[in-house]
Amino acid sequence: MTTHDLLTQLGVHTSGDHIARSPIDGAEIGRVAYDDAKSVEKKIAASVEAFKTWRDVPAPKRGELVRLFGEELRANKDALGRLVTLEAGKILQEGLGEVQEMIDICDFAVGLSRQLYGLTIASERPGHRMMETWHPAGPVAVISAFNFPVAVWAWNAALALVCGDSVIWKPCEKTPLTALATQALFERAMTKFGAAPKNLSQVVLGLRDVGELLAKDARIPVVSATGSTRMGRELAPVVAARFGRSILELGGNNAMIVTPSAKLDLATRAILFAAVGTAGQRCTTLRRLFVHESIYDKLVPALKKAYAGLPIGSPLEKVTLVGPLIDKASFEGMQRALASAKDEGGAISGGGRALEDKFPDGFYIHPAIVEMPGQTKTVCHETFAPILYVMKYTDFDDVLARHNAVPQGLSSCIFTTDMQQAERFIAASGSDCGIANVNIGPSGAEIGGAFGGEKETGGGRESGSDSWKAYMRRQTATINYSDALPLAQGIEFAV
Ligand code: NAD
């Protein structure tokens, strides 16, 4: 099937001045038109109008729209998954996995649409009832990154929609086609549903300036932004200046501790998936590996051997496990990081360009293992590429401290069969990350839990648990059903 056929099946007709390219070989796969300030203004105004209708639709009915959208995703999982592979370069299994994640969050949101529970609170005043109610917040902006071009939107949108919000999506400029395809599928669901207001979900395309327009607009109470820490640092003050709420999902620098009691075969497999999967371009990619000195000479050579045999190639081919980096800038960033790690005393295996003859305009790389003398400046920085910094440790308290001594706080894990160490890792004085796993790698989270991290990762939470509350406004309502007017705190105010 050609890319054109795929886009047609998904309902996308591309035209415009901006070329969308595939990281697989740099070829053009479509063209899109960017929004400007005028069209963004129009879309925000339309989103406000859609919200005014949608907020009054009963939540379980809103859930029905999300259920229908989930059905569209099921019917088009292969096509959308393939488009994710073409546009973001992740292997087909991961492209399909990404669409499955969208389906999963739709299912979750449908159930949630009957569970947007508030509280009944004991009032200190006789004849009074107090309650807490959750109301729709307003238009929600979703700004997303290239590496999960559709799932991140779905995590936000499925919840926002059942919560009664309208949605405006600014996808990454590197992945506009998957956004248009998702929007087209959503519109099919809207048609089947029949009763949803026009412009309930819209896409705005463009560079960061388009994101900035959403960030500063006071009609948008919630801005969910996924991307680099640099982006979050710029966006958060803009949203805060108008007292908006941001949900920030920023960079990670995720680690694994492998203790002497670990099952090494399990740890090795987990390291491989977490460090080289998605060519090291997941926010949860494993970037720092702490290995106890007693097992270092067993684990690290085994890893190097496994790395040497990794199938690198087109992500459309079934055997491939490592696809391309997103672009040349990413490749250059990886080379810069490797050079500074070397200057800091790192011993590098791999890291060079691969398949240059076959794909002169695709940036394939040999994932790198870098043995570091310590946690240097370069190790503390997130380079969005498959570089695994490996460090030795002796003492458990010391490795816990080193584990937490980076600016980011997204995901973390320990491989151990020692119950005390496992429990200490997830205790209050253990990992300081939003995600902490035992005998599981740091990547590949399920949608049922709240997803996100601390420190420079931004503190936002999306997806499962009670993340939905961020898309609603909380109201405390007190009703007096008595004939008296008692005041709280027993205050007497005789008039
Ligand atoms: P990026 O920061 O370059 O861009 C992300 C999005 O933000 C894009 O849509 C971009 O146009 C927009 N943007 C950039 N600057 C902006 C500004 N000042 N105001 C408004 N919008 C702006 O990120 P990327 O290269 O697409 O993605 C990689 C990064 O995303 C990595 O750091 C990765 O860790 C992070 N990420 C985090 C999570 C998470 O859940 N924590 C998930 C995926 C990716």
CA 253 to ligand 1 centroid distance, Å: 15
- Average pLDDT of span 243-253: 98
Least Cα distance to 413 among 383, 375, 445, 378 occurs for 445
Ligand 1 near 246 CB (within 6 A): no
Ligand 1 near 223 CB (within 6 A): no
For the cut 80, the answer to whether the pLDDT of residue 291 exceeds it is yes
| Residue nearest atom 40 in ligand 1 by C-alpha distance | 249
pLDDT digits (tens, 9 = 90+) for 439-475: 999 998 999 999 999 999 999 999 999 999 999 999 9
Cβ–Cβ < 8 Å for 20, 178? no
Residue 269 Cα to chain centre, angstroms:
23
Q: Tell me the catalytic residues.
A: 249, 283
Q: Which amino acid is at 270?
A: A
Ligand 1 near 454 CB (within 6 A): no
Least Cα distance to 312 among 256, 382, 362 occurs for 362
| Residue nearest atom 26 in ligand 1 by C-alpha distance | 145
Distance (Å, rounded) from C-alpha 377 to C-alpha 260? 27
Distance (Å, rounded) from C-alpha 40 to C-alpha 170? 10
CA 193 to ligand 1 centroid distance, Å: 33
pLDDT digits (tens, 9 = 90+) for 161-186: 999 999 999 999 999 999 999 999 99
Q: What is the DSSP letter of 350?
A: -
CA 171 to ligand 1 centroid distance, Å: 9
Secondary structure element (H or E) that encloses residue 118, with its range: none
For the cut 90, the answer to whether the pLDDT of residue 406 exceeds it is yes
Distance (Å, rounded) from C-alpha 2 to C-alpha 19? 17
Task: Please state the atom number of ligand 1 nearest to the C-alpha of residue 382.
Answer: 32
pLDDT digits (tens, 9 = 90+) for 205-220: 999 999 999 999 999 9
Distance (Å, rounded) from C-alpha 25 to C-alpha 309? 22
CA 226 to ligand 1 centroid distance, Å: 5
The pLDDT-based confidence of 128 (bands split at 50, 70, 90) is: very high
> Is pTM beyond 0.85 here?
yes
Ligand 1 near 53 CB (within 6 A): no
**Mutual angle of helices 92-112 and 77-88, in 10-degree steps:** 120
The reported pLDDT for the residue numbered 14 is 85
Percent of the chain as helix, strand, coil, to the nearest 5: 40, 20, 40
Cβ–Cβ < 8 Å for 143, 170? yes
Distance (Å, rounded) from C-alpha 490 to C-alpha 441? 55
pLDDT digits (tens, 9 = 90+) for 60-83: 999 999 999 999 999 999 999 999
Ligand 1 near 153 CB (within 6 A): no
Ligand 1 near 77 CB (within 6 A): no
The reported pLDDT for the residue numbered 246 is 98
